[in-house]
Each structure stands twice: as structure tokens, then as C-alpha cells.
């Protein structure tokens, strides 16, 4: 086997191991979800008197059924994960370099920053900064073009929603509006 083939094999094995770990985590999350539903039924719903009685009063009836269904499905998935070799999901077909994964993470970070800044700065300043940061993260150069597109796009979308659809966009401390 050539060096490149060995490397490719190694990469596939690592990816499969990562998928396998992810599959178990996802399964665990679904079990936790079902248990959480039962906890809510036994806790707040029982305390409030909505976990039994007739079909109208029993608000826990259907959630209990669904939670039990999820637990049953998790049991099937558990057996399937034990029995078969993990297959790569279609989404794993992307040959994603680490750098792109990092950009995605940065993108989510920028979005969090935007949501935090939106009520403070208001729609227009926060959106220009958000777009500029996103453009730069996605390698838009030169910077002045990225800034220009960010401003124009913000104004265009602001115009459509604020002027045409009469949506009150967040004003923030500066109170900027069209």
C-alpha cells in the first residue's frame, strides 16, 4: 500500500471514529430528552395536577407517549449502533479542511456577537459590523469592497423591512433609522 493510500485509510478511520462518537452522543441526547420529558411529567405537571385525570385535563398523556416512543427508538438505535459498522453520513462526504471548520465556528461566534450587540447598537451599525466580519471571515478582499457591500446590503434590507413592510427594527442606543 502506498503512503497516500495509507494516509487516506487513516483519515477515513479517524472520521469513522469521530462519527461513531457523534452517533453515541446524539443517541445519549435523545435518551436525555425522553428522560427530561418524564421528569417534567413527574415534577411540574404532577405538582400542578395535570398529569392524570380525563383526556382534557391530562396534559401529560401525549408527551408521555412520545417520550416512551423515543426511548423505544433509542433502544433500536442502540442495538443498531452495536451491531453494524458506523457508516459515514452524507454530510461527512465534504472533504472539510480544519481551516473551514474553524471559519464556521468563527461564523457562529460572530452571530452570537451580533445578537448581543443588536439591542445595544441598533440594527444599522450592528448589521454593518456583522456583515463586514462575515465577509472578511469568508476571505472577501479588498476590505473596502467588503465594507461597501456591507453598508449597501444593510441599507437595502433595512429599506425593504422598515419602509416597505413597516417593521420596527432594533433602534439601540443610537436610535438610527432610515
Partner 1 sequence: MFDILLSGLDSFQSWQVIGGVLFGTVVGMIVGVLPGLGPLIGIILMLPLTFHMEPVAGMGLLISIFVAGSCGGAISAIVLRIPGTPLAAATLLDGYPMARNGRAADAIGLAIAASSISGVLGGIVMIFGAPLLASVATNFGPPEYFALAITGLLSISVVSDESTVKGLMTGALGVLLAMIGSDPLSNAARFTFGTNALSGGIHIVAIIVGLFALSEAAFQIIEGGYRKKPDVQPVRISLRSIKMTLRHWRNLLRSSAIGVFFGALPGASGIIASFTAYAIARGRPLAGDAEFGKGAEGGVVATESANNAACGGAMIPTLALAIPGDAATAVLLGALLLLGLVPGPQMFALSGDAVGGIFLAFLVSNVVLFFVGILMTPLFVAVLKLRKQYLVPTVLLLSIVGVYSVQSRVDDLWAMLVFGMLGFGLRRYGYPLAPIVIGLILGPIAEGSFRRTLLFSDDGAWFILERPIATTILAIDLIVLIFALTPKKTRQQIFGWMMSRSS
Give, as ranges, the residues between 58 and 117 that touch partner 1 (CB under 8 A): 58-59, 61-63, 66-67, 69-70, 73-74, 76-77, 80, 89-92, 94, 96-97, 100-101, 103-104, 107-108, 111-112, 114-115
Q: Is 133 helix (H, G, I), strand (E, B) or coil?
A: helix
- Give the separation between CA 110 and CA 93, rounded to whole angstroms: 26
Does the footprint of partner 1 cover residue 47 (CB under 8 A)?
no
Helix or strand run (H / E) with residue 147:
helix 143-158
81: closest CA among 33, 24, 34, 29?
24
In a 10 Å sphere around its CB, with 0-12 CB exposed, 13-18 middle and 19+ buried, how is residue 118 labelled?
middle
Which residues contact partner 1 by CB under 8 A?
19, 22-23, 26, 30, 33, 37, 40, 44-45, 48, 50, 54-59, 61-63, 66-67, 69-70, 73-74, 76-77, 80, 89-92, 94, 96-97, 100-101, 103-104, 107-108, 111-112, 114-115, 118-119, 127, 130-131, 134-135, 138-140, 149, 153-154, 157, 161, 165-170
Amino acid at each position: 500500500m502506498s503512503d497516500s493510500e495509507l494516509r487516506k485509510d487513516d483519515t477515513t478511520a479517524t472520521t469513522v471514529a469521530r462519527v461513531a462518537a457523534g452517533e453515541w452522543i446524539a443517541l445519549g441526547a435523545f435518551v436525555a430528552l425522553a428522560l427530561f420529558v418524564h421528569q417534567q411529567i413527574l415534577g411540574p405537571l404532577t405538582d400542578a395536577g395535570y398529569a392524570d385525570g380525563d383526556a382534557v385535563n391530562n396534559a401529560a398523556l401525549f408527551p408521555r407517549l412520545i417520550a416512551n416512543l423515543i426511548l423505544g427508538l433509542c433502544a433500536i438505535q442502540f442495538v443498531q449502533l452495536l451491531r453494524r459498522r458506523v457508516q459515514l453520513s452524507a454530510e461527512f462526504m465534504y472533504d472539510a479542511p480544519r481551516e473551514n471548520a474553524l471559519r464556521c465556528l468563527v461564523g457562529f461566534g460572530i452571530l452570537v456577537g451580533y445578537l448581543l450587540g443588536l439591542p445595544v447598537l441598533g440594527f444599522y451599525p450592528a448589521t454593518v459590523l456583522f456583515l463586514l466580519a462575515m465577509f472578511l471571515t469568508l476571505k472577501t478582499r479588498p476590505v473596502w469592497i467588503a465594507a461597501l457591500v456591507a453598508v449597501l446590503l444593510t441599507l437595502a434590507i433595512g429599506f425593504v423591512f422598515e419602509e416597505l413592510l413597516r417593521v420596527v427594527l432594533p433602534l439601540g442606543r443610537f436610535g438610527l433609522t432610515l
